[in-house]
Each structure stands twice: as structure tokens, then as C-alpha cells.
């Protein structure tokens, strides 16, 4: 009964702006800590090319339509969203930071780590780029390496390796402009491959070593984890749309017919086609129908997928973790729905592969469509939004606890008292947002 009476958290809204679809999910954590989906809005996307907004008006309309559907299904008014960002402009780099402390006797505090992270924002980037995420990897305290959490240790010299993800300012500004024109506020912006990883990867896989390959409509995103840490991120400018284009040209059909062929009859491995059925497509304006064999269709799809996974394998080798991926490859995104794609990946890369379905965090009784890899990014954005909500709640509680420990004669609020509860909350909130690596979103 205690669980049932526990107050539920405020709903969170995730916005996934993709090349083929715009998806809005409304959800919250239920009393059992599982993700409860309250509303879904999904429409076709026309104004996005390879993950980048190419037409503001079309994207605004798609977002507005998806929001309307989500509001109707959830019976809630949407005001703010947790958005994702992706595209071929995303780059990553490794950097090392060093902090020399005043005393070796004082323990290393959270403030010391925060200072090291803030220093990364001073990096000189190519014109037009900005930092999206700063991810600490290992720390070194007085030449002792391989430390994952240095807080509480003693030492003078604190060093850290950082994985820094950057993107074009114009790309993120266009997303923010679209959200603003719909009348919404962007609460934060997360790299979509990181969100997808949150939805489909287990902690055990991240610890063992795994490469998440998210095959979207316009791009294929690669994210490598090892020892629970993001080690490498990359964006390959090929996705499901290129496969559709190959089918269109190889079978000499219309684009929408090629997409239907891919979705309904597509297979990633031609050797797995035994029956070799003949698919008949109606001709244009009374012309004779066109016949295509299922095996030939699979050959076209397989050729392009092998090219994509040549790039994936190159990124894995470039990261230096090729022999450390015990959990192999996890496939997600709409492109992973092709039959036998996991077998193709295993044959082509020599690594074990599985399909990543975003159902692990969902509450019982979720809609069947949510079990599709298509929703992996949106569900991951929801989870990140909920984590942020909980961080802010704990921040407020921390300030309240500090205030409770003080002299009650100070009163709940005094505008002339700089240590008052209000000012502490302001200072803490200011520190929280200043710690964000993305100053444009404050």
C-alpha cells in the first residue's frame, strides 16, 4: 500500500527529430521505478537530411503535429521537451586535463572534479563548433592511474582523460529555433546515440565492452563502451535511406515502392533466402507489372549493409577497442529491423551481435509498438530527462536540509541574509547550470 500511495513524478517529454520520423513520447517513472508511457506522437519527417534540420518550416510542422498527437493521447499540455541532436556534423576527441591542488592533506572533493570538467570548456575548437558533452573517463591522482572515482582521495596532482563530443552551433541552433517556433522550451539537448545506449544496453554489457550501432534513416551512429565508460563515438553518413535508394535504382521502381519492398520483403543475407519468391509490383498508368526476385532484392540490401559495416568496423579498429568488445555489437534503430541483419553483422565483423529492443526500463502493459528499435532514442531521451529531474530534486532537497540544520531564529527567508534558503537555492541552481557543458542551452 505504501508503494501505491507514493506520489508519482512529474511527466517528462522526449522529442526525437529524425531523418524519417519525428517522435514525441510523454512518460514518467511509476512507483516501482519503471518508465510509464503516457502518450505517443509519431509523424513522418520531411525537413531533416542526415540528422540535420534542412527545412525549418517542414520540421516545425512535423514537431507541431507530433506534439498535438502526444497531447491528445496523454491528455496533458506539453510545455517543455528533452530534445536529441544527431547528424554527420558530430565529432569526438580525447583530451587530458590537469589540476594542481593546494594541499595533499585535504581530500579531493566534488568541486575539484567539477573544476577539471569546467576547464575543458576552454578548449579551442574549429570555428562554428561547440561542446555538447564532456565525459570523464579515468582519473590519475599523483601518478596513480586507473581511478574511476577520485573523490575522498588525497593528493596534489589530479589528472583526467575526457571524451569530448562536439557539434555545429548552427545545427543545435536550428533545432532550438524549431522547438521555439512551436511554442515550447528545450529543457536540455542530448546526443542521440548516448540516449539510445541508455535505452537498450545493460550495465553488464557496458562494463564488458560493447559497440552500439544505431542505424537511422540518414546516418548510422556508433558508440563504444568499455568498463562502463563511453570510449568512442562516430557518425557514419549512411543509413536506411541509402538502402532504399539502391533498391529504387537496382529494381527501377518508385521511391515509395522501394521503401515498401525494403520494409516488407527486405532481408540482409541473400543466402538465407530459400524460396526465392517473385514479388510483383504494379506498373505505372496501365504499363506491365514489374517482377523482382526476393534473392536479388536481398543481394542489393546486403551489398549496401556490408559497406556500412565496413565503416563500422573501421571505427571500432580506430578506437583501439576491437579486441575488448566482449559483448560484441548491439543493433538498434529502424534499419536494424531487416531480417537476419544480426547474422550478417556476425559474419562480416566476426563479433557477436544482437538486436537491441528498448523494453528493459518500460513498465508492464506498454504498447506493443514501443518494443521496436525505432523508439530506442526517444525512450533513452525520456530516461535522461528523468535522471535530470531527479538530480534537480535532490539538489533542492540538499538545500532544504542545509537550511533545516541552521538556527531557526534566522527565519525561512531574509532578503538581507546571503545565507538564506532562497539565496542558497539560487547559488546551487546557478552552479548546477554552470556545470553544463552547453552554455547556449541555459
Helices (H), 75-119: 110-119
Whether 331 is covered by a domain: the verdict is no
CA angle 15, 19, 20 (to 5 degrees): 90
The helix or strand, by DSSP H or E, that contains position 203, with its residue range, turns out to be helix 203-208
Whether 345 is covered by a domain: the verdict is no
CA dist 149 and 170 (Å) reads 35
Model pTM score: 0.83
Whether 282 is covered by a domain: the verdict is yes
| pLDDT recorded at residue 4 | 41
Whether 298 is covered by a domain: the verdict is yes
| pLDDT recorded at residue 122 | 87
| pLDDT recorded at residue 430 | 45
CATH number of the domain that residue 260 is part of: 3.30.420.40
Whether 260 is covered by a domain: the verdict is yes
| pLDDT recorded at residue 391 | 80
| pLDDT recorded at residue 409 | 44
Whether 393 is covered by a domain: the verdict is no
**pLDDT single digits (tens) 114-126:** 999 899 988 888 8
Name the stretches of the chain with pLDDT < 70.
Answer: 1-8, 396-442
The total domain count for the chain is 1
| pLDDT recorded at residue 145 | 87
| pLDDT recorded at residue 2 | 39
Whether 367 is covered by a domain: the verdict is no
Residue 262: is it exposed, middle or buried by C-beta count within 10 angstroms (0-12/13-18/19+)? Answer: buried
Distances (CA, A) of 370 to 37, 86, 105, 270: 9, 21, 53, 29
CA angle 252, 258, 262 (to 5 degrees): 130
* Domain membership of residue 265 as a residue range: 240-304
Whether 126 is covered by a domain: the verdict is no
First to last CA, the chain: 40
Amino acid at each position: 500500500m505504501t508503494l501505491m500511495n507514493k506520489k508519482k513524478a512529474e511527466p517528462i517529454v522526449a522529442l526525437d527529430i529524425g531523418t524519417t520520423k519525428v517522435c514525441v513520447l510523454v512518460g514518467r517513472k511509476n512507483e516501482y521505478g519503471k518508465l510509464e508511457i503516457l502518450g505517443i506522437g509519431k509523424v513522418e519527417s520531411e525537413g531533416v537530411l542526415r540528422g540535420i534540420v534542412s527545412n525549418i518550416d517542414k520540421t516545425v510542422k512535423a514537431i507541431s503535429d507530433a506534439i498535438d498527437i502526444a497531447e491528445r493521447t496523454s491528455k496533458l499540455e506539453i510545455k517543455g521537451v528533452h530534445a536529441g541532436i544527431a547528424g554527420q556534423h558530430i565529432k569526438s576527441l580525447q583530451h587530458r586535463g590537469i589540476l594542481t591542488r593546494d594541499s595533499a592533506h585535504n581530500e579531493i572533493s566534488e568541486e575539484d572534479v567539477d573544476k577539471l570538467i569546467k576547464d575543458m570548456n576552454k578548449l579551442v575548437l574549429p570555428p562554428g563548433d561547440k561542446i555538447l558533452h564532456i565525459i570523464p573517463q579515468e582519473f590519475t591522482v599523483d601518478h596513480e592511474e586507473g581511478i574511476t572515482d577520485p573523490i575522498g582521495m588525497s593528493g596534489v596532482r589530479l589528472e583526467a582523460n575526457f571524451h569530448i563530443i562536439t557539434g555545429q552551433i548552427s545545427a543545435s541552433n536550428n533545432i532550438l529555433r524549431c522547438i521555439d517556433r512551436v511554442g515550447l522550451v528545450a529543457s536540455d539537448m542530448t546526443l542521440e546515440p548516448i540516449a539510445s545506449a541508455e535505452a537498450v544496453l545493460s550495465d553488464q554489457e557496458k562494463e564488458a565492452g560493447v559497440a552500439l550501432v544505431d542505424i537511422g534513416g540518414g546516418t548510422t551512429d556508433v558508440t563504444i563502451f568499455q568498463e562502463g565508460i563511453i570510449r568512442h563515438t562516430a557518425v557514419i553518413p549512411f543509413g536506411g535511406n541509402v538502402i532504399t535508394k539502391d533498391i529504387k535504382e537496382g529494381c527501377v521502381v518508385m521511391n515509395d515502392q522501394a521503401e515498401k519492398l525494403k520494409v516488407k520483403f527486405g532481408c540482409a543475407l541473400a543466402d538465407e533466402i530459400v524460396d526465392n519468391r517473385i514479388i510483383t509490383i504494379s506498373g505505372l498508368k496501365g504499363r506491365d507489372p514489374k517482377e523482382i526476385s526476393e534473392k536479388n532484392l536481398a543481394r542489393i540490401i546486403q551489398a549496401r549493409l556490408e559497406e556500412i559495416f565496413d565503416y563500422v568496423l573501421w571505427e571500432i579498429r580506430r578506437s583501439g577497442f576491437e579486441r575488448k568488445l566482449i559483448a560484441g555489437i548491439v543493433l538498434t534503430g529502424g534499419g536494424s529491423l531487416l531480417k537476419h541483419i544480426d547474422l550478417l553483422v556476425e559474419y562480416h565483423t566476426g563479433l557477436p551481435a544482437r538486436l537491441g529492443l528498448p523494453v528493459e526500463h518500460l513498465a508492464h502493459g506498454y504498447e506493443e509498438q514501443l518494443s521496436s528499435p525505432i523508439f530506442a532514442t526517444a525512450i533513452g531521451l525520456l530516461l535522461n530527462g528523468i535522471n535530470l529531474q531527479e538530480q534537480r530534486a535532490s539538489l533542492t532537497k540538499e538545500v532544504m536540509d542545509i537550511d533545516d540544520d541552521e538556527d531557526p531564529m534566522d527565519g525561512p527567508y531574509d532578503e538581507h541574509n546571503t545565507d538564506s534558503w532562497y539565496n542558497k537555492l539560487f547559488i546551487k541552481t546557478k552552479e548546477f547550470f554552470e556545470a553544463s557543458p552547453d552554455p547556449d542551452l541555459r
